[in-house]
Structures are given as C-alpha cells and as structure tokens.
C-alpha cells in the first residue's frame, strides 16, 4: 500500500456566528472530504506538543511522527535544506532577514518588500564583504536569507523582527542565553556522526552576530540599490536581522522509520515544509505556479502528487492557502480555499488512485487552526481522516472539527497518528 498525506495548512477553525455557529469545514461544500470521512476512520490529533508555539514547522514535524524535543532546530536549518545548503555538523544556520531601520527603530521586517532579485544582490554583496571561513551569507527568497556560522552556538536569544515593529532596535540585539555555565568555548557531540564539535560560546556567537548586524548597516546603506530606493522615497533595506538559529537536525528518515517506504516526496510551496521533507528523506517536488495562496496551481499540485505516487511509496502534499486566508481574516476566501482543496486536490486524486492495482491510503488533516476571527495560529487538536480500500468505516459522516470528535481513533498524540496511518 502507498501512503499520501494531504495537509490543508491552517484549515481548522472555530464556530463562526455568521455561519450560524458552524465552523468553516462544517459550512463549506466538501463532498470529497466527506466521502473520505464516510468511508474511512476519523479522529483528532495533538500537533503542537506542550512547550511549543503553534508554528507550521512545529505542527508539520509532529504530524510526521517526530519527537520535537529530539529534532526541533528552528527555522534556519529547515530553510538551509530548502535552499539546497547541506549543513555540516558544526554549522549553525540562522534565518537572516534584510529589514528597514529608521530613527533607531525597526520600521519593518521585510526591507520594504524587497524583491528576490535585489535581495540576492544585497546578500551576495554582504557575503563578499563580511564572509570568511566562519561566516557565510546564502541568498533565499525576497527579504528572507540565511546566515551560516561555522562553529556557531545556538544558545542565544534573538528577536524575530516581525514581533517588534516600531521598537528601538538596539535593545533587541542578540544576547547569549543564560545557560548558567559561563565557560568560554564549548564542545558538543553531533548526535548523528558522534564526533565532537568545537563551538564558540553563546556570548562569542552573540558578539559575532551583533558585529555583523552593525557592519551590514553601513554597507547596505551605501549600496546603489539602497541609494536608488532612497531617491525614490522607498524604505531602505538597510540592516540584516538574524533570528531562529539551529544545528543540522538529526532526524531519522521516513524510510528508516517505516521499512515499507522505499522512497518518498514532499510537495509544498513553503520553504519550511520543504526543509522538513528534506531531513525526512523525501525528495522535494517543485510545481510551477505553486504560490502558497488561494491562486496556487491546485491542479498542478494534484497531478504532481499522482505522478509521485506512481513511483514513490509516501507523499506529503502540503497546501498553504487556507492559512493565508485565515491570517487575512477573510471568511469567504478561507471557505473558498477549503472548497478548492476538496474539488481540485482531493477529488482528482481520489478518483485517479481508486482505479490503481496498488491501493493508496489517504490521510487528510490541517496542521493547526488559523481561525478567521483570531487571525493567528492556535494550539488545539485538529481533525483527521484516514481512508484506504478495505478500512472499516467508523460512522463519522463528515470531515470537520466537530464530527471527528466521535471518530474511532479518538484523540491521538506524538507518533500515534503516523503509526496508525502506516500500519492500520
């Protein structure tokens, strides 16, 4: 049997007055999701373990059955994988925004909506000027880049720039985490290769990054791209701002955990999800026109999943659109993204694979709710359905937050979802 997970990012929601007290999944017209629920078995899953905030990278890693305490390394390493940078055991990778500072404050976290073209020029310029054996800047997308510090220490406290608009930037510079040891240089052991790794201390790492931030400011300020932005009255992209550091995650691959999986694939427009897929041993399938928004190439993603399933045993298909609509607080748009997922992803895939000789097990779930009324991720269990030919139905008739409460699987956590999906 092959296995496909269809993940609608942020698709779960709360009861909404405008919908007569129904949730969006209850209200939306979703005949194919409901068909899976009728024919399959349902339940709910805790996707955000205690002690973690409900980020998509946390929830998606947990859904794939990983223990966050053992594998979670922040955004930097996931983005490194997505960009195609293979981290060494002694590397520390950290997300490196290019932001706008004005009047001593953080004006925005995106450098005035920097284009990928300009962002790449600026980050490559910084790498020429500031890069060395220890420090490397690697271009990503728009304002979102990567800083790799060989021997860097992740035990530092950084301030995500989107959390601090209009705040003075100097008090937000990087600080060493108070680890209580106070030793100068530290060594640790790479869990994967069991070699000891020489690292800077947290304080040395914080000093190094703060020095890079300060030196980036004069370099960026005087760069022709920023001089042009200045004359055009646009916000300048005039400082780097690193945050979310981590080491190379030591994750077992899906194939190592589930021997029936020889090869697998991940399909997502989102770099964090691609990064998780990479460390899980899945190949990254890129779909033209996959935007992460409601206008994404749904048909292309469905077709890519069908093609991948012809060769691979395990496919993780991630669709971001509902989450973005939730962040926008746009009820009608979020309903539309749910109906698109039903008719343009679930329907074509279900109708194709039901004719195959080798059966395909399909799981459908969100990673977390992004309610249109709160407009941010919340930490609550999500509904899920598992269907494959021959599975015994559990009496649930519709796929939504309320119906799945009475599903046969009850409330699962940790790797229980992957275990029942792969083994039932």
Closest residue by beta carbon to Zn ion: 56
Nearer to Zn ion, 9 or 73 (CB): 9
Q: Which residue has the tokens 């009820």?
A: 331
3-state secondary structure of 350: helix
Q: How far is the CB of 327 from Zn ion (least distance, A)?
A: 10
Nearer to Zn ion, 240 or 280 (CB): 280
Contact predicate 390/354, CB 8 Å: no
Query: % helix / strand / coil in the chain, to the nearest 5?
Result: 35, 20, 40
Give me the residues that bind Zn ion (CB under 5 A), please. Answer: 9-10, 56, 323, 367
Nearer to Zn ion, 161 or 366 (CB): 366
Q: How far is the CB of 367 from Zn ion (least distance, A)?
A: 4
Q: How far is the CB of 270 from Zn ion (least distance, A)?
A: 8
Q: How far is the CB of 93 from Zn ion (least distance, A)?
A: 21
Q: How far apart are CA 418 and CA 321, in angstroms?
A: 24
Nearer to Zn ion, 10 or 249 (CB): 10
Nearer to Zn ion, 205 or 370 (CB): 370
Q: How far apart are CA 272 and CA 123, in angstroms?
A: 20
Contact predicate 5/273, CB 8 Å: no
Tokens of 292: 């992460």
Nearer to Zn ion, 10 or 281 (CB): 10
Q: How far is the CB of 377 from Zn ion (least distance, A)?
A: 6
Integer distance in angstroms from the first to the last C-alpha of the chain?
11
| Sign of torsion over alpha carbons 38, 41, 47, 50 | positive
Q: How far is the CB of 323 from Zn ion (least distance, A)?
A: 5
Tokens of 377: 């991720």
User: Which one, of 278, 103, 136, 277, lies nearest residue 208 by Cα?
Assistant: 136
């Amino acid at each position: 049997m092959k296995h496909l997970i269809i993940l609608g990012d942020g698709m779960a929601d709360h009861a909404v007055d405008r919908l007569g007290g129904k949730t969006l999944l209850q209200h939306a017209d979703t005949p194919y999701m409901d068909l899976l629920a009728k024919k399959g078995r349902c339940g709910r899953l805790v996707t955000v373990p205690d002690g973690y905030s409900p980020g998509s990278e946390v929830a998606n890693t947990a859904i794939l059955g990983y223990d966050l305490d053992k594998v979670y390394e922040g955004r930097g390493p996931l983005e490194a994988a997505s960009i195609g940078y293979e981290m060494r055991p002694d590397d520390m990778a950290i997300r490196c925004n290019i932001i706008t500072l004005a009047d001593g404050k953080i004006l925005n976290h995106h450098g005035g909506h920097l284009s990928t073209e300009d962002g790449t020029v600026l980050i490559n310029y910084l790498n020429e000027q500031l890069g060395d054996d220890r420090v490397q800047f690697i271009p990503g997308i728009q304002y979102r880049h990567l800083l790799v510090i060989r021997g860097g220490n992740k035990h530092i406290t950084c301030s995500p720039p989107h959390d601090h608009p209009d705040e003075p930037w100097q008090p937000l510079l990087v600080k060493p985490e108070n680890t209580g040891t106070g030793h100068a240089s530290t060594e640790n052991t790479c869990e994967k290769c069991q070699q000891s790794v020489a690292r800077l201390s947290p304080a040395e790492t914080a000093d190094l990054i703060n020095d890079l931030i300060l030196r980036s400011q004069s370099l960026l300020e005087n760069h022709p791209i920023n001089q042009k932005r200045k004359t055009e009255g646009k916000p300048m992209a005039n400082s780097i701002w690193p945050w979310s550091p981590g080491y190379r995650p030591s994750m077992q691959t899906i194939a190592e955990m589930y021997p029936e999986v020889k090869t697998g694939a991940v399909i997502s427009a989102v770099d964090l999800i691609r990064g998780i897929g990479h460390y899980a041993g899945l190949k990254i399938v890129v779909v033209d026109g996959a935007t992460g928004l409601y206008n994404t190439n749904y048909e292309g993603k469905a077709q890519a999943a069908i093609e991948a399933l012809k060769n691979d045993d395990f496919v993780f298909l991630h669709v971001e659109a509902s989450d973005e609509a939730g962040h926008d607080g746009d009820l009608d748009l979020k309903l539309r993204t749910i109906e698109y997922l039903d008719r343009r992803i679930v329907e074509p895939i279900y109708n194709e694979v039901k004719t195959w000789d080798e059966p395909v097990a399909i799981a459908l779930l969100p990673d977390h709710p992004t309610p249109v009324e709160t407009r941010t991720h919340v930490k609550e269990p999500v509904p899920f359905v598992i269907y494959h030919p021959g599975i015994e139905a559990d009496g649930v008739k519709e796929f939504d937050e309320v119906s799945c409460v009475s599903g046969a699987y009850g409330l699962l956590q940790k790797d229980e979802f992957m275990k029942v999906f792969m083994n039932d």
